[in-house]
Every structure is written in structure tokens, then in C-alpha cells.
Structure 1
Amino acid sequence: MKYLCLSLLFFSGAFSFAQSSKTINQSGNPIFKGWYADPDAAIFKNKYWIYPTYSAKYREQVFLDAFSSEDLIKWQKHEHILDTAAIKWANKAMWAPAIVEKDKKYYLFFGANDIQSDNEVGGIGVAVSDKPEGPFKDHLGKPLVDKFYNGAQPIDQFVFKDKDGQYYLIYGGWRHCNIAKLNKDFTGFLPFDDGIIFKEITPEKYVEGPYMFIRNGKYYFMWSEGGWTGPDYSVAYAIGDSPFGPFKRVDKILKQDPSIATGAGHHSVIINKKNDKYYIIYHRRPLGDTDGNHRVTCIDEMHFDAEGNILPVKITNEGVKAQQLK
């Protein structure tokens, strides 16, 4: 018994040391505590930032938190950077934030109220702050998009800056995705040359959660497929020559691993230009957990082949190694 106790003590110490080493050198997954989903990632002032949905019942989703890190390992929580007290027209389901910096201001786009028709108040809003950690205040006093155009529910917005400096809003649930040209102060939209405001760019099997980035002159358009509460929630992508496509679906690149986690989807991407590393930030569901809102935010590295195709991402418990921006 004495030797058994000593062995157990040694094992416990070794385990603690391993955990400590992992914490120092790798992010681990999930990267921070709590039920958080739909993460949007950004780099501001030599820090990584993540803006997720607080994953709870709709009536409890009345605020947004943010997280910042200098190395992808240690994350600082910034509580209630925005809540429904600041957004008078929002009362529930504050979802899927997307942030962008412009002219020394930080604009946080979000969905609220989960509207099901054009007769309800809600949709996509915009908040603004002088700092990435907020607090944010309502930029418009009303939703930016509050109607169903081309069948797209006004949720899951992403703000994309093109090579010419033009900003676009890319958004949509209910299996439809739109793109619209934002005006200079993000108070509305500019029509395209044909007079249309909202152009549909929906690829095959699209469900929600759009994301776009440019690599080697090509436009990578990514989205989520499947049902958000199910194990087969996942991410697929297409490649185009412009933000308008056309986008032909290439493949699925992020999905569940029954030995790690299920429901891996609704993502964003961090691009470390210093060393050309790409990280996919996404949410997933712990094994055996059937509560639809039990989602956690994770990170893994994303790679490309010689032709520029995104390789399937291996979801891990280890996450990624420390990566400084300075």
C-alpha cells in the first residue's frame, strides 16, 4: 500500500507537471472557460482578440464578452463589452459578433432577436467603441439589416475588407448568403452598378456562418453546414476570383472527430503574416454532451497544399503552440 501511494503520488505529480507544461507551451482546447460559440477573431495592437457568442438560452443571450491574448495561450476575459442595455431594440439572441477596425474606431456587428419574418424588430446591428475591449455603444439606434433579402435571415454577419479598401457585409442564415457594399461610416449600403443592394452568393450546401479571406490573390469563402445542435455541424469552402464568386464548393475541411469532440463549426481565421501561419478558431461540443448550448471555443492550425487547397483540419485537445505577434 505504501508503494502504491508513492506511485500514485508520483503519477499525480507527473500529471500536474505535464499539464503545467502544456499550459505554458500550448493553448489546449478549449482555449478559455465557459460556453462560447461562433467566435470571430482579429488582431489589434499586437494582441489576438476573440469575440464569441455567449452560448445559452435565447433570453439569456443579452450580452457579449471578448477575450484577448498576446500569445494564443493565456487569455484575458473582457466582460460585457456590449449588452442589450446599450442596444435598446435588442432583447434576446445576441449572436455571432464580427469586428473590424476603421479610422481608429472599432465596429462590432452582431445579430439580435432571431427574427423569423420582416414584421419583427431585430436583425443585424452595429456598435462602436474607441477600444477593442469596449464598452461599445449603438452606432445607429436601429438594425442595419432588418429584412429578409433573397431569403437570407439577417444573422451571422462578417465584415470583409477587399484589396481596394472597400468593406463588404457578408451574411445570412436559412441557407442563403448575401453580400452588400458598406458605405464609409457603416451607417448603410452603397448600391452595386446594377442598382442592387444585396447580391446573393450562396454556394452549394451553405447553411450559415460565412467567412472570407484573400490568399495569393484568390478569395477563400468559407461557411458552416449541417444543423448547429447536431454532431455533423462542419465547415466547407470555395475559392473565387472576387468577393462575388462564383463560388463552387471544394470540400469540407472542419468536422467532428468522434474521439475528440462533435459539432465543430462556425469559425473564423487568424492570419499571422509574420510567419504565414493560419489558425482556425471554431466552436465544438464536448463528447457525450447533448445540450445544444454547450459549446466551447477552440483553436487548431490550418494548412494548405501546393495548389492552394485547404487541407482537412485535425481537431485536437492540444490546440496550438505559443505564437507571439511582436
Structure 2
Amino acid sequence: MTRRASLPSDRPTRPPAPRPAAPAEGSRQPGQPGQFSNPVLDGGPKADHGDPYVLEHLGEYYLFHSGPRGIDAYRSDDLVRWEWAGTVLTGAGEGHWAQVELWAPEVVYQDGRFVMYVAATSPGVGRASAGKAHGADGGDDMLRRQGVARAPGPLGPYVWDDEPLVAEWSIDAHPFTDDDGSRWLFYNVRNDDTRHADGALGCGNVVDRVGPDGRLLGRPVQVAYPSQDWEAGPGGEQYWNEAPFTLKRRGRYYQMYSGGFFGGDGYAVGVSVADELTGPWEKTSSQPVFVSGEISGPGHHCVTVAPDGVTPYAVYHGYVADGFGRKVHLDRLWWAGDGPQVGRGRRRPTSATLDRQPVPPSAVHDPAVEAFALRAWVRGEHVDVDGLRVGLGGHHEHLLEVDSDGSTMTVRVDDALVATRRGPARPGLAGAEVLRSTVHSHLDDDGEHVLGTPARRSWAWGGSGPVECSVAVAGRARVQLGEQVVDVDGVGFELVTLRSGTGAEALHVVGLDGGARVADVVLDAR
């Protein structure tokens, strides 16, 4: 039986009392500004905040998680300090398909409304065995279906659709918008096709395209089905590939999925990759890429960006020590040559940690740096981006994302790539109502470059303020940012991070004996 854990039935009906001033999980610590430690959302010894999902809208973050009879929401402006914002969806009335065990909510903003993808079922005889978390303890597992609820605002109230979105056993939906604006839905199913090769019961992830009416086209494609030993639960009698979250980089699609039993320490994250959404998909490794450390059982994550608008963070659940209930944690996500890496920049597989880390960064604009990332919420029929007119349409707000590396500018509206222009650019907007905007000095080269011996490649920067860079190197190379120098000598990609407090004219990478491959160069003003 697959499950999705939830809050206990004694969920608060009003905002919790303010925490004392003493250090607490998920807070910025007195005397140590700019740092935090996991978990960022605890809730106490009885709370279980499984399957967290974070939506950013108009500069605020909204966190949703599974519940036995309802979905609770929290609000934050920095991804670290969360305030309870109420119950935004409850189970439907008698006779409806979605009454209990509301699992894995993901909320997207589409065409001026908020759409929550969430699984649920009808009351039945559930099973309470869920390891260190709440499990399926009151619902009919055979009737579990993926559905949709809709609302005019991020905090609801959400209203259920009359019928489920998927007609078979299904959970863990993840909506995805491609560069061309097409919409897709990844979700989890359990049937004879998702069994492990040894015949053991299992569940797996598929993807289907979403039609103009919001319904699925009915042509699901296999993305991640049970195949690896680590994906089994205790005893190896059942396997899980679930909780999909898909990212696109270097023209490829990377689905990060959770495997193993959610109620134990073996729960972890793997990756499946494809050149097309319709496959074929292939797992990148027989081992997980994000595993237990001081925080155990990390998984069912989502990826959001810091207040600077570009730096990616994974929000996931896991257990602290031997305590009960999944708590919500936050760790930075990096791109490391051949895939995503969660953690502190160590070689993969990375592990979740309780160590202190910097709070997610805010935007910093250095006018001396040509590269920038602009992120704005705008309203109007069109918007002019440094003189380039882009159509918007509709009377609701749109998310506008503009990136320039100094030689090419790209423009996205509501996640779709709508325009590209060669040449330098400036972060100027006109012709639309700007509800909120940030500009951040940022350069991101997602390409892969081969350096011979002693070939050198440089990425211009030019700022005099603090700058941070990350770069993935395979082979032998010297990496230099300002006065900071690191030599790399390895076979697979190694993630190198450097920081200069006085800026740098450029990042330089020099191939040493045998040369190197260089990928995922990112520079940010800090």
C-alpha cells in the first residue's frame, strides 16, 4: 500500500502562539545574522508536515503540505521563517470522491487563478503502519485518486472539481510548463506495469500532456518505475518511485523522484533524465543523489528560488534524530555537470544536514556588471523590456523573467520562453503596471566546455562588490576568481564554489595536464 502522510487530527484551528526569543529551528539565530539551521518548519513532537510544496507569488512564499482531512498553508518572505496562514482546503462532503487523506498538494498560478493538484480518497478501512509518520489511517486506498481544487487567491478558499483528474489509483501530481508554453502533468500510479522485475508491488511516475480544457490527453509515458534495490521498503516486499519534480537544463529534462519507504531512513532522492518529455527516460545512477545524514529520510521535495529570484533551493521533508513526524527542511540546489545536487557543494551523493547555513540571498544589483536577472510581476496588454515589446494579454498579473548574460537576452512570461534578442541589454521595463520587481546581477552559463592544455576560458564579471561563483569541473583545471584559486584533479564532475569579497574582473578556468570539461558556470553578486 502506498500512502501520503498527514498532520495529526488535532491540527490547530488558529495561528500558534509566538515562539520565544530563544533559538529555534528555522529561525535566524540571535548574534548570528544571516544564518539558519534546519528544520525551518517543525510544529512540535506530534506534528507531521509531509510532502511540502512552496509557491512564490508577488514576492511572498506559500507552503502547503499533506493533511488527513485538510490542507494547511504557511506564509514566509524569506523561506526560513514561516507563519501559519490557515486551512485552505478541506475534504469534500459525503458522497464526493475526495473526503479524506489529502496528499501532496502542489499549487500553480494559471490564467489568473490558483490550481491545487492534490490526491484524496473516500473513507474506508485504512492502515496505520507508517513508521515514524502518520500514514493512511482512515481512507480507502483502492479509491485513491489525483484531483484538482481551484481558488481565486493563494490562500483559497479552494473548491474541488466534481470528478478526479485521473481515473486510476494515482497521487503526487507535479505540473510542468515547457519552454513553448505547453503544459504537462507528472504523477504517480500503481498498477501491474509498475511492479518491480521480481514481481513485488510498486508504484511509478508517468507524464501526460494537459489539454486546453485542463484535462489530460490520456497518453501517459513512463518516467521512473521501480528498478533499484534502494527503492524498496523494509524487507524488499514493495517498491516506491514517487514524488516527481522536474527541472530543465541544457535542453534536457531532469526528474528528481523519491524512492523507498517514506516512514524510514532509507527514503531518498534519485534522478531520471530525458531529451524529450515523451521519453525515453533513463535513470542517471543506480544510487540515490540525496540521502540521509543528520536529517534522515529526506525526500518528496520541491524546488523554488531565493528572494534574489535565481538561486534554487530544495524544500523537503525528513526526520530529525529518532523523533516522530516529518519536518520541513531547506537546502541549496546546485547544478554539477551531469545533474542537480542538493547540499553544501560536496561530491555526490549529498546528504541532508543540520549544519548552519546562510539564509537564502536577496537580490543585489551592481551596475558595473552587464549580466542580470530581472524578475517582475506585471499587469497589462504588453510590456516593453529594454525596448523589446512582449505581449501579455488578460487583466491579471503575469510573472516576467528576463535574463541577460551581456550578449543575449531571454524573456519568459509565466514560465514560457517568449523572446530572445542578441546584444547587450538593460533591466528596464515600460508599458505595463509593475506590481513587484527585483534586479539581480547574475550570470548563468549552462553549457559544457572542453578545455585542452593549457587552454583558458574566461567569463567576464567586472563588479567590485562581493561575488560568489560555482562551476562544475571534470578533469584537471585551475579555477580563479579574484585572488581565490582552486586546483581540481578528478575523473567525474566536482562542484567548485568560490567567493570574493572585493569582486573580480572575470572567472578564469585553465586546463592543466590532460585538460578538463567545464559546465554550469554561475556567478552572483552577494
**TMscore range, shorter length:** 0.7 to 0.9
Counterpart pick for 2:331 among 289, 300, 314: 300
Distance 2:54 2:28 in 1: 29
Question: Amino acid of the residue matched to residue 249 of structure 2?
Answer: R
Decide which structure has greater helix share. 1
Aligned to 2:291: 255
Inter-CA distance 91–218: structure 2 relative to 1 (3 Å threshold): same
Shift of 1:160: 0.9
Question: Amino acid of the residue matched to residue 62 of structure 2?
Answer: W
Aligned to 1:321: 359
Q: Quick check: 2:254–2:339 contact (8 Å CA) kept in 1? A: no
Q: Quick check: 1:282–1:298 contact (8 Å CA) kept in 2? A: yes
Distance 1:224 1:154 in 2: 15
Equivalent positions of 1:89-128 (< 5 A) are 89-113=97-121, 116-117=141-142, 120=143, 122-128=144-150
Distance 2:260 2:23 in 1: 38
Aligned to 2:272: 238
Inter-CA distance 262–169: structure 2 relative to 1 (3 Å threshold): same
Shift of 1:175: 2.3
Question: Amino acid of the residue matched to residue 200 of structure 1?
Answer: Q
What's the C-alpha RMSD, in Å, of the aligned pairs? 2.7
Helix, strand or coil for the counterpart of 1:316? coil
Q: Which runs of 5+ in 1 are unaligned?
A: 1-12, 55-60, 148-152, 192-196
> Does structure 1 residue 172 correspond to structure 2 residue 188?
yes
Question: Amino acid of the residue matched to residue 316 of structure 1?
Answer: T
Alpha-carbon deviations, 1:227-258, whole Å to 9, x = none?
A: 1111110001122212223222124221111x
Helix, strand or coil for the counterpart of 1:177? strand
Distance 1:18 1:298 in 2: 14
- Which structure has the higher relative contact order (CA within 8 Å, separation 6+)? 1
> Does structure 1 residue 32 correspond to structure 2 residue 41?
yes
Shift of 1:226: 0.8
Decide which structure has greater strand share. 2
Aligned to 2:55: 42
Inter-CA distance 272–163: structure 2 relative to 1 (3 Å threshold): farther
Counterpart pick for 2:261 among 212, 221, 227: 227
Alpha-carbon deviations, 1:108-130, whole Å to 9, x = none?
A: 0101126544xx3x401101111
> Does structure 1 residue 283 correspond to structure 2 residue 317?
yes
Q: Quick check: 1:124–1:154 contact (8 Å CA) kept in 2? A: yes
Q: Quick check: 1:39–1:283 contact (8 Å CA) kept in 2? A: yes
Alpha-carbon deviations, 1:16-61, whole Å to 9, x = none?
A: 9993245x5234211123220111222211122222113xxxxxx0
Identity of aligned residues (%): 25
Distance 2:305 2:261 in 1: 27
Number of residue pairs the alignment of both structures matches: 287
Counterpart pick for 2:170 among 143, 154, 175: 154
Shift of 1:101: 1.0
Aligned to 1:79: 86
Instruction: Name the larger-Rg structure.
Output: 2
Question: Amino acid of the residue matched to residue 102 of structure 1?
Answer: Q
Inter-CA distance 21–65: structure 2 relative to 1 (3 Å threshold): farther
Distance 1:53 1:89 in 2: 17
TM value normalised by structure 2: 0.50
Shift of 1:66: 1.6
Q: Quick check: 1:179–1:198 contact (8 Å CA) kept in 2? A: yes
Aligned to 1:67: 74
Inter-CA distance 105–25: structure 2 relative to 1 (3 Å threshold): same
Aligned to 2:488: none
> Does structure 1 residue 137 correspond to structure 2 residue 159?
yes
Larger CA deviation: 62-71 vs 85-94: 85-94
Distance 1:244 1:278 in 2: 25
Q: Quick check: 1:300–1:314 contact (8 Å CA) kept in 2? A: no
> Does structure 1 residue 211 correspond to structure 2 residue 239?
no
Distance 2:88 2:23 in 1: 37
